[in-house]
Amino acid sequence: MNAYLTVDAGLAARGVRLAVGVGQGERVAVMGPNGAGKSTLFGLCAGLLRPDEGRVALGGQVLADASGAWIPPHRRGIALLAQEPLLFPHLSVLENVAFAPRAAGAQRGAARAAAGRWLEEVGASALADRRPAELSGGQAQRVAIARALAAEPRVLLLDEPFAALDVDAAPALRRLLRRVLAGRTALVITHEPLDAHLLADRVLVLEGGRAAEDGSTAEVLERPRSRFAAGLAGLNLLQGIGPAAAAGAGTSRSSSAAASSGTAAGARISIEGLGEVSGTVPEGADQPAGGEAAVAVFRPADVSVFAPHDAPHGSPRNVWPATVLELEPRGAHVRVHCAPGTEASRPGVAGPSAGEASAGAGAAAPGILADLTPAAAAELDLVPGAGVVLVVKATAVSVYAVG
């Protein structure tokens, strides 16, 4: 791996084993559910944790390895910006920022001059003489950013930089970070897809202590491979497998099947509890192969909901009986959470048993979200437990291999 920062390391006690490379000047959004290993990744980089497997290296220098090599945190050239600003309460804002160049050996005057420049950079010059207790959350975070940058770090680690801020303070800080992170090597833990788009070139999704997805921000959020990333992007994602070789289609299924039809590459995948799902293979994605892992991805807004007796028939549509689990008002629309399957499953659509359906999302049959107008939801008289039929056109479903 030709990377500037390399974390090919693990901590067995935490069930974390990561192999991640970050290029110089690359900005990576680190995302994942609670306990996925995001903080552990930061701890390994910053020198707060020692790996018991593998190594962490920066610019060709080993920072830590399982055999005991160890560069202490303050000599790594890695700055960690925590959720809380963590300023020294007894120092002025200027002195807080000057602390980093001072610690690196700069003379007092030079350190204060550098601090002044960084405060200007983050738009906080007017705060120079205040104490941290006299700052708002947003102001304190600006000062913390100036202090992190004043250390001239080789790598900047930001742990949910807006988490502790008022919603009002976040947009300005987001703009500031977008500007100051340009061209820097940075990792940002965030739960916000917006931040992944604005602050990062790449998204790394961790799940269960492993990297589950790693790709350009657009790729991961527009063509997710995991349910977690699909959820971030506000998309439905059903996991399945490519079809067994279709009758008469030979054994090798490739994009030639679609190419020969002269239309967008169409494909079907099999989903446990739902049966076959039809969709199209997006440009650049891989055609699902027989028996290999594949996903079907579609927007909640593309899911139509019908009363059971009103459902339209015929291809090229996906038609799934389902049970309403929950209605979630979301301003201009209502998000309907559904579990596919009812006792009265339609012929040709293999629904899960009622028991599976009531287990809801996360069970064998995954949950499906549909966005309706409030008027449509009212007209259908939707309530939790109601039986419905979900219909999604094949053209609205992306299917692709994720193996």
Ligand X SMILES: Nc1ncnc2c1ncn2[C@@H]1O[C@H](COP(=O)(O)OP(=O)(O)OP(=O)(O)O)[C@@H](O)[C@H]1O
Return d(Cα 290, Cα 243) in angstroms, integer: 5
Specify the residue, 38 or 202, whose C-beta has the smaller distance to ligand X.
Answer: 38
Task: State the amino acid at position 281 in one-letter form.
Answer: V
Specify the residue, 38 or 317, whose C-beta has the smaller distance to ligand X.
Answer: 38
Closest approach of ligand X to the CB of residue 67, in Å: 22
Closest approach of ligand X to the CB of residue 90, in Å: 29
Specify the residue, 16 or 235, whose C-beta has the smaller distance to ligand X.
Answer: 16
Closest approach of ligand X to the CB of residue 80, in Å: 13
Closest approach of ligand X to the CB of residue 18, in Å: 10
Specify the residue, 24 or 39, whose C-beta has the smaller distance to ligand X.
Answer: 39
Specify the residue, 12 or 259, whose C-beta has the smaller distance to ligand X.
Answer: 12
Across-strand partners of 294?
Answer: 240, 401
DSSP for 166-226?
-TTTHHHHHHHHHHHHTTS-EEEE-S-HHHHHHH-SEEEEEETTEEEEEEEHHHHHHS-SS
Specify the residue, 15 or 312, whose C-beta has the smaller distance to ligand X.
Answer: 15
Residue 164's nearest CA partner among 141, 180, 132 is 141
Closest approach of ligand X to the CB of residue 222, in Å: 23
Chain residues binding ligand X by CB under 6 A are 14-16, 32, 34-40
CB 277 within 8 A of CB 266: no
DSSP for 252-275?
---THHHHHHTSS-EEEEEETTTE
Write phi, then psi, for 135 (nearest 5 degrees).
-110, 150
Kindly state the tokens that stand for 199: 């602050």
Specify the residue, 13 or 133, whose C-beta has the smaller distance to ligand X.
Answer: 13
Closest approach of ligand X to the CB of residue 1, in Å: 22
Q: Residue 379: left (phi > 0), alpha (psi -120 to 50), or beta?
A: alpha
Closest approach of ligand X to the CB of residue 177, in Å: 20
Q: Which long-range contacts (CB under 8 A, 24 or more apart) does 196-200 make?
A: 196/29, 196/31, 196/220, 196/221, 196/232, 197/221, 198/174, 199/27, 199/29, 199/174, 200/27, 200/28, 200/29
Closest approach of ligand X to the CB of residue 156, in Å: 18
Specify the residue, 32 or 266, whose C-beta has the smaller distance to ligand X.
Answer: 32
Other residues' Cβ atoms within 10 Å of the Cβ of residue 257: 17
